[in-house]
């Protein structure tokens, strides 16, 4: 191999080493974060949970933005098993609460022409919620009387996540205006620790590839033997 070809091959190998090194760093960091979260943030029931945060609306309901699960670019999880979600809601306005999960299309139909707030963005450090307000004058009626819910409760619920488009709804139990609640969420995600170990294993494999490419790219050129 000529010196020019050798130099080009070495350069390609070193570029490849840089790329595989970056991938290795990302995988190892991601795996470490998953394993750390799995060991530090799980409660006694196996849920990775948030704290209770204050949500409020002057309308009849507070809803989440649409949660797409499975089979789409915005999916929450990409396997046949999506895990379990636990929601808690503590009244902070003196009225008993209702919390439920239903298909977004059913929630939209139930709250049509009613005033409510949809949470469009959340920040956790520090906590803040951004709402999109929907105007209306129709009272939607008590939520528990509706047959749209796949999971519901007064202070908490658990939901085995299914494929589809879903919304979480928090309301006063009597369906009246002015909703104030401390809401917390937890998720029991299957294979969280397994995903962490897989990411670490792949990261180690990419470290080995990085080392091999680096050695190849920095090896000295072969000496030519001179014959008398």
Q: Is the pTM of this model over 0.75?
A: no
Domain covering 48-188 in this structure, CATH number: 2.60.120
Residues 6+ apart with CB under 8 A from 7: none
Distance CA 86, CA 78 (A): 19
Comparing CA positions, the residue from 187, 188, 50 lying closest to residue 127 is 50
Q: Residue 19 pLDDT > 50, yes or no?
A: yes
Whether 219 has a pLDDT exceeding 80, the answer reads: no
Distance (Å, rounded) from C-alpha 45 to C-alpha 178?
32
Question: How is the chain split into domains, by residue range?
Answer: 3-40+192-218, 48-188
- Tens digit of each residue's pLDDT (9 = 90 or more) over 21-45: 888 888 888 777 766 666 666 666 6
Please report the pLDDT score of residue 98 as a whole number.
Answer: 95
Q: Is the dihedral of CA 89, 160, 195, 20 positive or negative?
A: negative
């Amino acid at each position: 191999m000529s010196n020019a070809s050798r130099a080009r091959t070495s350069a390609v190998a070193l570029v490849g080493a840089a790329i595989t090194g970056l991938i290795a760093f990302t995988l190892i960091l991601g795996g470490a974060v998953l394993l750390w979260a799995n060991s530090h943030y799980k409660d006694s029931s196996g849920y990775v949970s948030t704290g209770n945060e204050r949500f409020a609306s002057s309308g009849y309901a507070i809803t989440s933005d649409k949660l797409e699960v499975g089979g789409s670019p915005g999916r929450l999880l990409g396997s046949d098993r999506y895990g379990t979600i636990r929601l808690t809601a503590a009244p902070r306005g003196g009225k008993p609460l209702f919390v439920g999960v239903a298909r977004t299309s059913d929630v939209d139909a139930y709250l049509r022409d009613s005033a409510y707030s949809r949470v469009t963005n959340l920040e956790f450090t520090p906590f803040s919620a951004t709402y999109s307000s929907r105007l209306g004058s129709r009272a939607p009626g008590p939520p528990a009387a509706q047959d749209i819910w796949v999971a519901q409760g007064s202070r908490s619920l658990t939901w085995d996540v299914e494929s589809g488009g879903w919304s979480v709804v928090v309301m006063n139990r009597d369906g009246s205006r002015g909703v104030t609640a401390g809401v917390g969420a937890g998720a029991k995600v299957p294979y969280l620790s397994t995903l962490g170990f897989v990411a670490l294993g792949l990261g180690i494999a990419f470290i080995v590839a990085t080392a091999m490419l680096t050695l190849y790219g920095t090896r000295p050129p072969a000496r030519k033997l001179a014959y008398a």
